[in-house]
Amino acid sequence: MITERTGLPLSVGISVVNLHDSQALIPLVKGVPPIRSRRGRRRRRPDKLHADKGYDYPHLRRWLRGRGIKHRIARKGIETAQRLGRHRWTIERTMSWLAGCRRLHRRYERKADHFLAFTSIACTLICYRRLVC
């Protein structure tokens, strides 16, 4: 899941059971829809990406740099994850919002398409509630 700074989900995806998180980064970033800005053209990519040590791979860093996305990825064995804790709570809060949906908390759906549809509905409700209140 990719969220904006305040925790609204921008891109959601599901994967098979034992897929490493780093393999899902590129499809999730590509799945971010164009965002309308106050001035100029629509933004087609995020400006900055924060990630933990699970995404510390040279090919991912090159890919993000090639797309013009500034990345802040903790390096394995060098940095602690404490500095990313300032930004990590937003994704954790969004995940807890999703866990509040009973159908997603315990996966009742057998088909991946159905589960992705319910996840998308839950994300839509999160955005609606956040924007209305």
pLDDT in tens, 37-65: 777 777 777 788 888 888 889 999 999 99
- Which phi and psi angles does 36 have, rounded to 5°? -75, 130
Distance CA(33)–CA(56), nearest Å, equals 25
Q: What is the pTM of this model?
A: 0.73
Output the pLDDT for position 86: 64
Element (H, E) at 29: helix 25-30
User: 9-23, 85-99, 112-126: which range is least confident on average?
Assistant: 85-99
Q: Which two tokens stand for residue 65?
A: 């740099």
Nearest C-alpha neighbor of 6 from the set 80, 73, 94? 94
The domain of 68 spans 2-132
Q: What is the pLDDT of residues 86-107, one digit of tens each?
A: 667 777 888 888 888 877 777 7
Cβ neighbours of residue 85 closer than 8 Å, sequence gap 6 or more: none
Query: What does pLDDT average to over the chain?
Result: 81
- Cα separation, 41 vs 32, whole angstroms: 16
Number of domains the chain is built from? 1
